[in-house]
Amino acid sequence: MYAIVNIGGQQFKVTEKQNIYVNRLSDEEGSSVNFDNVLLIDNNGSVTVGSPVVEGATVKAKIISHLKGDKVIVFKKKRRKGYKNKKGHRQYLTKIEIETIKG
């Protein structure tokens, strides 16, 4: 059984007991969150597609930790002009574990 759920503007294909990294959520570590923007549910071949979401379907997850992702380097250069610009950033992420999919 899997579901496609919209979390923070991004779509993720999730199964039970799966760990995924999403953009930083405002809840505390160890707390549970429910996502009700479920776009699709596949229950052993029985596919339910929402328009736009599946009514009554929820995905329950537990927040494991808040962390920062790997550094991303942004390098810009124009040849023969002497222009070089190097910047980078680290994305704030939340690691969550999918507990149950109901729908």
pLDDT in tens, 21-71: 999 999 999 999 999 999 999 999 999 999 999 999 999 999 999 999 999
For residue 52, the tally of other CB atoms under 10 A from its CB is 8
Answer whether residue 103 shows pLDDT above 90: no
CB 41 within 8 A of CB 48: yes
For residues 14, 19, 22, 27, the Cα torsion angle rounded to the nearest 10 degrees is: 110
- Residue that has been written with the tokens 């810009």 in this structure: 76
